[in-house]
Chains A and B, each alone.
Chain A
Amino acid sequence: MRRLAPLVLALMAFLTVSVATADDSKRLRIISWADYVPADVIADFQKETGIKVEVTLSNNEEMISKLRATGGAGFDLAQPSQDRILGAQQEFRIYKPIDLSKVQTAEFLPDLVDTVRKNASLDGKLYALPYVWGTEGLVYNGKKTKIADYTDLCRADLKGKVAVRLKRPTLMAFAFASGKDPFALYNNVKAYSALMDEVGKTLAACKSNFRFFYDNKDQLLNGVRSGEITAAMMWDSGGWNLGRENPDIHFINPKSGAIAWLDTYALPARGKNDAGAYAWINFTMRPAVAARIARQIGNFTASKGADALMDPKLKAQFAVTFPDGLKNVRWYPAIPPGLEEIEGKVLDRIKAAN
Chain B
Amino acid sequence: MTDAGPLWMRRLLLGLLLAPALLWLFLLIVLPHLDLALVSFRERVAPREYVTSLAQYRTFFIEPLYWQIFVRTAILSVIATAVTLVVAFPVAWTIAKIARGRSAALLFMVCLIPFWVSETVRTLGWMILLRESGVMPALLVKLGLVASPPELLYHDATILVGLVYTSLLFMMVPLVSSLESLDNALIEAAYDLGASGFTVLRTIVIPHAAPGITAGCIVVFMLTLGNYLTPNLLGGTSSQWFTEQIYNQFITRFNWEQGAAFGFLLLALSTGMVWLGLKASGQRFADVMQRA
Footprint of B on A, CB under 8 Å?
1, 61-62, 64-65, 68, 88, 90-93, 160, 166-167, 207, 210-213, 215, 226-228, 337, 340-341, 344-345, 348-349, 351-354
Contact = CB atoms under 8 A, between A and B. Distances in A.
Given A228-B133, A341-B253, A348 B65 contact: yes
Contacts of B249: 344
A348 B238 contact: no
Given A207-B238, A228-B131, A337 B253 contact: no
21 contacts: A1-B12, A68-B254, A90-B47, A91-B47, A93-B48, A160-B151, A207-B238, A211-B237, A212-B236, A226-B133, A227-B133, A340-B252, A340-B254, A344-B249, A344-B255, A345-B63, A348-B69, A349-B65, A351-B237, A351-B240, A352-B240
A167 B253 CA distance: 11
A351 B238 contact: yes
Report the contact-size class of chain B (Cβ under 8 Å from the partner).
Answer: 20 to 34
B251 A348 contact: no
B254 A211 contact: no
Given A90-B47, A91-B47, A228-B133, A212 B237 contact: yes
Interface in B234-281: 236-238, 240, 245, 248-255
Nearest to B154: A212
B180 interface: no
Closest 5 CB pairs of A and B: A61-B252, A344-B253, A226-B133, A65-B251, A90-B47
B68 interface: yes
B16 interface: yes
Contacts of A340: 252-254
Nearest to A64: B254
A338 to B, nearest CB: 8
A199 B249 CA distance: 21
Of B68, B236, B240, the most chain A CB neighbours within 10 A belong to B236
Contact of B248 (A64, A226, A348, A352): A348
B250 A65 contact: yes
Contacts of B253: 340-341, 344
A210 B240 CA distance: 15
Nearest to A61: B252
Given A62-B251, A344-B255, A213 B133 contact: no
Contact of B254 (A91, A215, A227): A91
Nearest to B255: A341
Contacts of B47: 90-91, 337
A340 B254 CA distance: 8
A352 B12 CA distance: 55
A218 to B, nearest CB: 11
A353 B245 contact: no
Q: For A68, A213, A351, which residue has the most chain B Cβ atoms within 10 angstroms? A: A351
A88 to B, nearest CB: 8
Given A91-B48, A211-B151, A228-B133, A354 B238 contact: yes
A354 B249 CA distance: 22
A316 B245 CA distance: 43
A295 B158 CA distance: 39
B81 to A, nearest CB: 23
Nearest to A349: B65
Given A62-B251, A211-B151, A348 B245 contact: yes
Contacts of A353: 238
B232 to A, nearest CB: 8
B172 to A, nearest CB: 32
Contacts of A210: 237
B132 A228 contact: yes
A353 B251 CA distance: 22
Contacts of B254: 61, 64-65, 68, 88, 91-92, 340
B259 to A, nearest CB: 10
Contacts of B232: 215
Interface string B1-38: 00000000000100010000000000000000000000
A212 B154 CA distance: 7
Contacts of A349: 65
Nearest to A160: B151
B136 to A, nearest CB: 14
Contacts of A166: 237
A354 B250 CA distance: 25
B238 A344 contact: no
A257 B205 CA distance: 68
A140 B226 CA distance: 38
Contacts of B237: 166, 207, 210-213, 351
Contacts of A354: 238
Contacts of A213: 237
Contacts of B245: 348
A22 B126 CA distance: 42
Given A90-B47, A212-B236, 6 more contacts: A65-B254, A91-B47, A91-B48, A211-B154, A348-B65, A352-B69
Nearest to B48: A91
Contacts of B154: 211-212
Interface in B169-223: none
A353 B240 CA distance: 10
Interface string B55-97: 0000000010110110000000000000000000000000000
A59 to B, nearest CB: 9
Interface string B116-152: 0000000000000001110000000000000000010
